[in-house]
Amino acid sequence: MKKLLVYLKGYRTESILAPLFKMTEALLELFVPLVVAAIIDKGIGNGDTSYIIKMCLLMGGLALLGLTSSVTAQYFSAKAAIGFAEKLRHVLFRHIQSLSYSELDETGTSTLITRLTSDMNQVQNGVNLTLRLFLRSPFIVFGAMIMAFTIDTKAAMIFVGAIVLLSAVVFGIMMGCIPLYNKIQKKLDDVLGITRENLSGVRVIRAFCKENEEIEEFENTNNALTKLQKFTGKISALMNPLTFIIVNFAIIILIYTGAIEVYKGILTQGAVVALYNYMSQILVELIKLANLIISLTKAVACGNRIEAVLELEPSMRFPEEKINSNNTEYIIEIKNADLRYKNASDFSLSDINIRVKPGETVGIIGGTGSGKTSLVNIISRFYDVENGEVLFNGKNIKEYPSDQLRSCFGIVPQKAVLFKGTIRDNIKWGKKDATDEEINRALELSQSKEFVEKKENGLDYEIEQGGKNLSGGQRQRLTIARALVGNPKVLILDDSSSALDFATDAKLRKAVREMTPSPTVFIVSQRASSILYADKIIVLDDGRAVGLGTHDELLESCEIYREIYDSQFSREGKK
């Protein structure tokens, strides 16, 4: 949590003025019992009405000054807390964007969302409360004790004993609650993760009639969170009654002692009332302090979780200076490459060796889990190989800056992802300065132009988050258009035509082949028909390349490819 405080640097003035004005308010509040004592002893005791009015006006002035100080302190503390949270959100979001797929896979999406939202709000609230109350409450507590010593030493010792007991209760409960709040936030991650999975996979859940099982799993996870929150709440709830008991016992002892001393003539009645007011102030402030500490323990726990994300070092580094790539015979070369995902026991890809010439079309096929997506992920450097190397235009792919590398690749992932905004805005993700002419060309190539023209407002048609107001085929074609608009040197289609009919798929492949300049195309597909006419086909099985060649060559030499082909085509339909 300490490392996060660096983002308060731009708000040093506000961070000083907020507690300063709050301390001014507290100081003014400490004078009020003395004014009340004076009214009782001198005004009421002597029947001096003018003195009473003068003291009441003084008390009103103290109240007005205190209110002004309080509002000013609130303004500065709110400004500092909101500015701090704004900076921290930007830094955290930017850092998350810099993490590689390996760190994102390990941390989990639901956890990152929780830390950007719930945890961040808790930290912001903690900073605000700290600037306003963290110094004020102890100042009032110890200030009231000191003021009590100025009135009567014997009575003041009651304050000392009460404060020691109250401190033991408050800090004891606080130390018990801190680890529990950490556990609560982790349980909240679990609930958010299940909720996110259910919302994104609602169609699959309904298709397989798994609603009741998912409801049961959610209830179990939610009940575990609720149970832990209740247990923590019970512990923290002890704070108020315990502090009330201690303070009220102290008040009883104080009044008893004060009454004896008033009888003996040692103390005045006004002094006893002042001592009682100081003890009441301590009670109120300790309750505030107790609630503040509970909020701070939550904020510290959440701050530590945010700090843990910021301390994650990206495993993938990109150089900053652009390099001049060589015009080699092969645009992509993979040499003896092995890929193992983080914390995995086995390799997902083993001993991969591939050479691809510029303009070639390469088909990648294999069973589920054979490593098809893993292969295109190392080509585009979403993951780094553990052994071997991947070359792009004759140079190791690790030597390219991120912007230069990404500008050369057009990538269409398995899941078509569109963002809330117009069709034009979504296509421009592929090239931010793309003209309408370039966008329309990309739509034609991706076989999207026809349905886009039928949409209301055409390119300005508003797409909902995730493309929910489009069909699966329309989403896939628009993601392909987004990849094509930048004229990439390498186009990767990762099973991106699964929702297209055979005729549209064939038109798409023909349009891509006829592009000028012709890109190097990698087509990952479950359909043998999509890669029949590729210049070369890679057959993967359990992370290994078991076949490499044209369609006709593989029918003769690769049993796995032959099985895939036979399962999709009748023997009479073979060519």
* Residue 36 covered by a domain: yes
pLDDT of residue 285: 81
In this structure, are 337 and 290 located in the same domain? no
How many C-beta atoms lie closer than 10 Å to residue 415's C-beta?
Answer: 12
260 and 212 share one domain: yes
> Phi and psi for 49 in degrees, rounded to 5?
-65, -40
Cis omega (within 30 of 0) on the bond before 517? yes
The single residue listed with the structure tokens 């591939």 is 354
Mean pLDDT, range 118-139, rounded to an integer: 88
Cα 318 to Cα 298: distance, rounded to the nearest angstrom: 37
Three-class secondary structure assignment of 17-36:
HHHHHHHHHHHHHHHHHHHH
Co-location of 286 and 401 in the same domain: no
Residue 315 lies in a domain: no
Number of domains in the chain: 2
Between 65 and 291, the higher pLDDT residue = 65
User: How far is residue 181's CA from residue 233's CA, in Å, rounded to a whole number?
Assistant: 10
Per-residue pLDDT at 38 exceeds 60: yes
Residue 282 tokens, joined: 């301590």
Do 233 and 147 fall within a single domain?
A: yes
Which pLDDT band, with edges at 50, 70 and 90, does 216 fall under? very high
Asked whether residue 439 is assigned to any structural domain, the reply reads: yes
The tokens describing 533, both together, are 């006419």
Residue 575 is predicted with a pLDDT of 43
In a domain, 520, yes or no: yes
pLDDT surpasses 80 at 318? yes
Same-domain status, 372 and 298 = no
Nearest CA among 75, 119, 552 for reference residue 305: 119
CA 304 to chain centre: 13
Which among 125, 98, 107, 132 is positioned nearest to 25, based on CA atoms?
132
Per-residue b or e along 51-81, where b marks 16 or more CB atoms closer than 10 Å to that residue's CB? ebeebeeebeebeeebeebbebbbebbbbbb
Nearest Cα to 188, choosing from 82, 117, 93? 117
- With a CB cutoff of 8 Å and minimum separation 6, the contacts of 524 are 364, 365, 372, 373, 375, 376, 414, 492, 493, 494, 495, 496
- SS3 state of residue 389: strand
- Tell me the mean pLDDT in the region 4-9: 86
3-state secondary structure of 395: strand
Q: Is 316 among the domain residues? A: no
167/251 same-domain check: yes
- Residue 72: what pLDDT? 94
| Overall average pLDDT of the 229-253 stretch | 84
Per 3-state DSSP, the chain is made up of helix, strand and coil in percentages (nearest 5) of 65, 10, 25
| 358 neighbors 522 (Cβ within 8 angstroms) | no
- In 3D, which of 334, 481, 462, 489 has the Cα closest to residue 407? 489
Asked if pLDDT for residue 574 goes beyond 70, the answer is: no
- Interval 416-471: pLDDT, tens: 889 999 999 999 998 888 999 999 999 999 999 889 988 888 899 999 988 888 88
Report, as an integer, the average pLDDT of 87-107: 88
Strand 395-396 and strand 387-392: the pairing is: antiparallel
When pLDDT is cut at 50, 70 and 90, the band that residue 281 belongs to is confident
Q: Looking at the predicted structure, is the pLDDT value of residue 76 above 90?
A: yes
Q: What is the largest CA-CA distance in the chain?
A: 120
Domain membership flag for residue 437: yes
Helix and strand counts by DSSP (H, E) for the chain: 21, 12
What single DSSP character describes residue 551?
H
In a domain, 401, yes or no: yes
Residues 341 and 301 in one domain: no
The contacts found for 275-278 with CB under 8 angstroms, 24 or more apart, are: 275/33, 275/148, 275/151, 275/152, 275/155, 276/251, 277/32, 277/33, 277/36, 278/33, 278/144, 278/145, 278/147, 278/148, 278/159
Least confident of 54-63, 82-91, 197-206: 197-206
Q: Are strands 462-463 and 490-494 parallel, antiparallel or unpaired?
A: unpaired
- If pLDDT is split at 50, 70 and 90, which confidence band does 573 have? very low
DSSP per residue, 479-500: HHHHHHTT--SEEEEESTTTTS
- What number of other Cβ atoms are within 10 A of residue 560's Cβ? 17
In a domain, 458, yes or no: yes
Looking at residue 510, which CATH number applies to its domain? 3.40.50.300
Tokens 């890669």 identify what position?
Answer: 531
DSSP tag of 539: E
Residue 57 has pLDDT above 50, yes or no: yes
> Which pLDDT does position 34 carry in this prediction?
85
Tokens 């490819």 label which residue? 561
Per residue in 170-204, pLDDT (tens digit) is: 778 877 877 887 788 788 888 888 888 888 788 88
Under 8 Å between Cβ of 490 and 390 = no
The two tokens of residue 206 are 């309904």
Q: How much is the pLDDT for 528?
A: 85
My answer on whether 336 and 285 are in the same domain is no
Whether residue 269 is found in the same domain as residue 354: no
Q: Which of 448, 412, 445 is nearest to 514 (CA)?
A: 445
Q: Is residue 91 pLDDT above 80, yes or no?
A: yes
> Mean per-residue pLDDT for 207-236?
90
Q: Looking at the whole model, is its pTM more than 0.95?
A: no
On whether both 305 and 206 belong to a single domain, the answer is yes
Asked whether residue 488 falls in the same domain as residue 346, the answer is yes
C-beta of residue 312 within 8 angstroms of C-beta of residue 107: yes
Decide if pLDDT at 332 tops 90. yes
- 236 and 342, same domain (yes or no): no
| Span 140-145, average pLDDT | 84
Q: What is the pLDDT of residue 79?
A: 93
Top-confidence residue, 56 or 111:
56
| Domain CATH for 261 | 1.20.1560.10
Mean pLDDT of the chain: 87
Nearest to 123, CA basis, from 345, 302, 350, 326: 302
Q: Residue 372 belongs to what domain range?
A: 332-573
Determine the pLDDT at residue 571. 45
Among 260-269, 402-411, 494-503, which range has the highest average pLDDT? 402-411
